[in-house]
A = this chain, B = another copy of it.
Amino acid sequence: MHATELPAEPPSKLPAGLRERKKRRTRDALVRSALELIARQGYEGTTVDEIAAAADVSQRTFFRYFANKEEVALSVQQMVESHFYAAVCARPAEEPPLTALRTAVLASWDTIGAAITAVVPLRLHVSMHRTIQETPQLLAAQLRRLAEQEDRLTLEIARREGLSPEDPRPRILVAAFSGVMREVGRRWGGLMESDMDTFRRHTAEYLDQIGPALAENWRS
């Protein structure tokens, strides 16, 4: 068994065997325990031993499910990202790229909540989101993940538009888009839940700035 074998996705399709179900449960227990402990004690203040003990498995078993401590902390985040990527791939081919990305974000937000709650309570995910920004090591790992996501998105956009993978334009577009989304992510925490509709509108307005941001003269 390798650490990255079991998908990060929620138990959408319940697996046949007892073995598989047991693994799913163990994995979810580890994620829940980890997020709970980290929310209470911080990332660096939480040891893998504690997480494993809270999920009632040995430390060695923890490392059979997650390659490292970062991975369990970012596992829900990872789920959100692949959720979004799937939404992008589902957009009709006639949509221009930026529109597809923008629509996919808003669409994926409609359904991601349920997928998260299937694994951990939402407050733990929100708390983790804050912790990631504040913990250098986690932030670094997260940025690497996002860079990989940018690569995937770039490829997908190039494919949709029938461009060569060498063409720089998809990459630039995705970089600008991701820059906006990272800023949006930063402002999350406080605003969401309280006023999700305002937040969605806010995001849309932000994305509308991508065009104007490249105009040569801003001082009007």
Chain A residues engaging chain B, CB cutoff 8 angstroms: 96-98, 136, 139-141, 143-144, 147, 150, 161-163, 168-176, 178-180, 182-183, 206, 209-214, 216-219
Contacts and interface: CB of A to CB of B under 8 A. Distances in A.
Main SS of chain A's interface residues? helix
Given A175-B176, A175-B182, 14 more contacts: A96-B217, A98-B216, A140-B143, A143-B147, A163-B218, A170-B213, A172-B180, A172-B209, A172-B210, A175-B180, A176-B176, A176-B213, A178-B179, A214-B214
A174 B97 CA distance: 20
Point out which of A143, A182, A209 has the most chain B C-beta atoms below 10 A from its C-beta: A143
23 contacts: A98-B216, A140-B140, A140-B143, A143-B144, A143-B147, A161-B218, A162-B219, A168-B206, A168-B213, A169-B213, A172-B179, A172-B180, A172-B209, A172-B213, A173-B214, A175-B175, A175-B178, A175-B180, A175-B182, A176-B176, A178-B179, A210-B214, A214-B214
